[in-house]
Amino acid sequence: MLTRKHSIEGKNPFGKAAELFNSLDADAAMKLAMVAGDVTLVLDDAGTILDAAFDPSDFPELDDWVGTNWIETVTEESRPKVMEMLAAARRGEVQHWRQVNHPTRKGDVPIRYAVLSVNGGEHRIAFGRDLRDAGKHQQRLLQVQQSLERDYLRMRQLEARYRMLFELSSEAVMIVEASTLRIREANPAAHSMTGHRAGALPGKKLPSLMDKGSRDALQALAGSAMASDSVAPIELRLAKGSRLVNAAITGFTQDRGKFLLLRLMPAGENDDNADSPLFDLIDCMPDAFVMADANLEIISANHAFVELVHAASVDQLRGRHLSETIGRPGIDLDLIEGQIDQHGAARNVSTVLRAGGEPDGEPVELSAVRSSGEESLYAFVIRPIGRRLRDLPPGAEDLPRSVEQLTDLVGRMSLKDIVRESTDLIERLCIEAALNYTSDNRASAAEILGLSRQSLYSKLHRYGLGNLPSDPEDGG
C-alpha cells in the first residue's frame, strides 16, 4: 500500500524558480536525471527498460537489463512493489520511495526507487538509490548493539555473582569513601559484627563505629592503605560492646573516586590454634612452611617462610597468591597441582622462591599435600638448596649435577656441547652408583661397570671422585 512517507506530497514547492525548469534543455534534463539517482532507468508504458544510466563499477550487470522488463530484473518478493509503482505512475499518483532487490552473482543488491511519469505519460523514469552502504552501516550498528547488549548482560551477571558473594560472605566487609570515610556499602556480616540492624551502616562515618581510643589508629591505617599496596592489619576496638577486631584495609580507585575495602575479623579467633604445641613446633621449624586455600592464596606461614620472602610479618602475606613468590609464573604451581591430583602429594620438587620482586629467585626444594573435603587446603614445606648445591665438591670439569641443570644450559651452550655434558653426567652418576653399591670397592665397581681397573681409575681422576689408591692393583 502506498503511503505519503518520503514522497513529495506536503513539501513546499518551488516558487520564483519554477519558470527556470521550463528553460531546461535536453542535456540539462538528462544530467539532472542522472544526478537524481545512483541508477536511472527509462521505461515505456509496459515497464520495459529502454535505457539506463549507472556507474559500471558499482553495477557491472546492469548492461544486460536494457530491453528487459523491469519486473524480470528483481527478486520474487520485489515484483509486487514494481507493479504497484508502475500502476501508480500510470494513474499520476504521488510517488514515494520503495525498496526492491536485484539478484546478482554476488547476492541481492537493494535499491530504493521512485517512479516519475514523463512525456505525457508515455514513458516513465525510475530513480534508484543504492542501499548497500546503508545496509552495511545498519549491520555494523546492529553488531555493535548486540555486542553492547552481550557485554551489559555479562556485567549484570558478574555483578549478581559478586553481589551474592558480598552478601553471603561470613567475613565482615565494607566499602568506604577514602576522602570522607563514609560507608557506602556493608554486608550483613558487617552489620552483625558492629551491632547494627540491617541496612543501617551505609551513610555512617566509619570512625563512629570505633572506640575513641581506636579512631586515630583507624585514620592512620586508612591513609597508609591509599599510599601502599601492602598494609599489615591492626587491632581496633568497636564502639558497641567494646569488641576487639582485626581490621585490614585495601585502597582502590573506581569512576575517578578513591575507596577503601575494609575487612573486619574477630581478634583472637585463632588463639587456641596459635597457642597449641603443634603451631609452636611448625613456627620453629628450620624449613619454611606455608598453608594456602583452594585458590592457592596464603592463609598462614611460619617464621622461616616469612624470612625467606623478606616479609615484615605473616599478616602481610595473607591473601596473596603463592605464584607471587613460588615457582616460575604459570609453570611450576600447575605442575605441582598436577602431581598432587595424580599421586596425592608432590615430593622434592625443584623450583625457585622469589622475594622482593626478584626475577630469578633462589633454588628451593618443595613438598606439598592437599586436604580432602569441600574446602580443601594446601600445605607446602620448602627447603632452600642453593647452599647445598654450592657446597657440593666440583668435578674436574664442574659438570652439571642433575637433569634440571642440564636443561638450564639450553640457550647458553650448543646442543653438541649439551649432549657431551649429559654423557659425562650419566657416566659419573653410574660410577657413583657402582661405588655406593660395592661400598667403595673399586675392583668390584669396575667389574659391574664392565671397565678395566685402569679405565675406572682414569675416570675417577677425571671426575674427582675420591682419592686414588697408591697401588693400582689394590682391590680396596
Q: What is the pLDDT of residues 418-436, one digit of tens each?
A: 777 778 888 888 888 888 8
Contacts for 425 with CB less than 8 Å, ≥ 6 apart: 399, 400, 401, 406
d(C-alpha 48, C-alpha 61), whole Å: 17
| Residue 290 phi, psi dihedral angles, 5° rounding | -140, 140
Angle ∠(292,223,323) on CA atoms, nearest 5: 25
Residue 27: pLDDT over 70: yes
Q: Which whole number is the average pLDDT over 394-422? A: 62
Q: Does the domain at residues 18-130 carry the CATH identifier 2.60.120.1140?
A: no
Q: Is the pLDDT of residue 95 over 80?
A: no
Report residue 84 as a C-alpha cell: 504497484
CB-based contact 235:265 (threshold 8 Å): no
Q: What is the mean pLDDT of residues 334-360?
A: 81
User: Region 220-247: what's the mean pLDDT?
Assistant: 85
Are the C-beta atoms of 225 and 260 separated by less than 8 Å? yes
CATH for 169-266, options being 1.10.287.70, 3.30.450.20, 3.40.50.1820, 3.90.400.10: 3.30.450.20
| pLDDT confidence tier of residue 29, bands split at 50, 70 and 90 | confident
9 has a pLDDT exceeding 50: yes
- pLDDT for position 389: 46
pLDDT value for 28: 74
Please indicate whether residue 28 or residue 136 has the higher confidence score (pLDDT). Answer: 136
Averaged pLDDT, 183-190 = 92
Identify the CA nearest to 112 among candidates 85, 142, 137, 88: 85
Q: Which residues contact 368 (CB under 8 A, 6 or more apart)?
A: 336, 340, 345, 346, 349, 378, 379, 380, 381
Q: Which set of grid coordinates corresponds to residue 289?
A: 612452611
What is d(CA 329, CA 81) in angstroms, rounded to the nearest whole number?
Answer: 66
With cut-offs at 50, 70 and 90, classify the pLDDT of residue 32. Answer: confident
**By the 8 A CB rule, do 380 and 368 touch?**
yes
Residue 172, classed as helix, strand or coil, is strand
Identity at 344, one-letter amino acid code: G
Q: How far is residue 337's CA from residue 39's CA, in Å, rounded to a whole number?
A: 68
Within 8 A by CB and 6+ apart from 226, the residues are 178, 251, 258, 260
Distance (Å, rounded) from C-alpha 241 to C-alpha 195?
8
Query: In percent, how much of the chain has pLDDT > 90?
Result: 12
Tell me the C-alpha distance between 102 and 111, whole Å.
8
CATH of domain 403-463: 1.10.10
Angle formed by the axes of helices 453-463 and 415-437, nearest 10°: 120
Interior angle at CA 307, CA 228 and CA 357, nearest 5 = 50
Contact, 238 vs 195, CB < 8 A? Answer: yes
Which residue intervals of the chain bear CATH 1.10.10? 403-463
- Tell the residue number behind the cell numbers 585502597, with chain if given: 251
pLDDT at 208: 92
Say if residue 23's pLDDT is above 80: no
Percentage of the chain exceeding pLDDT 70: 83
Q: How far is residue 376's CA from residue 335's CA, in Å, rounded to a whole number?
A: 18
Lowest mean pLDDT among 138-147, 350-359, 432-441: 350-359
Mean pLDDT within 450-471: 76
Residue 399: partners with Cβ closer than 8 Å, 6 or more residues away = 421, 424, 425, 428, 463
The cell numbers describing 19, all together, are 519558470
What's the pLDDT score for residue 52?
Answer: 87
Over 60: is that where the pLDDT of 1 sits?
A: no
Q: Rounded mean pLDDT of 292-304?
A: 88
Specify the pLDDT at position 369: 92
Q: 351 in helix, strand or coil?
A: strand
Please, are residues 342 and 331 in contact by the beta-carbon 8 Å criterion? no
Could you tell me which CATH class the domain 271-390 is placed in?
alpha beta
Average pLDDT of every residue of the chain: 81
Query: What's the pLDDT tens digit per position in 247-277?
Result: 989 888 887 889 999 999 887 654 444 455 7
258 forms beta bridges with: 253
Query: What pLDDT is attached to residue 385?
Result: 78
User: Contact at 8 Å (CB) between 457 and 472?
Assistant: yes
Distance CA 365, CA 348 (A): 5
Q: Which residue did the predictor score with more confidence, 341 or 417?
A: 341
User: What is the structure's pLDDT at 457?
Assistant: 87
Query: Rounded to 5 degrees, what are φ and ψ at 307?
Result: -70, -40
**Average pLDDT rounded to a whole number, residues 433-462:** 84
The three-point CA angle 352-357-361 to 5° equals 20
| pLDDT, position 257 | 87
* pLDDT at position 357 over 70: no
Residue 410 has pLDDT above 70, yes or no: no
Arithmetic mean of pLDDT, 294-310: 87
CATH code 3.30.450.20 region(s) in the chain: 18-130, 169-266, 271-390
What pLDDT sits at residue 290?
Answer: 92
pTM: 0.38
Res 184: pLDDT: 92
Task: Give the side-chain half-sphere CA count within 13 A for 266.
Answer: 10
All cell numbers assigned to 358: 626478584
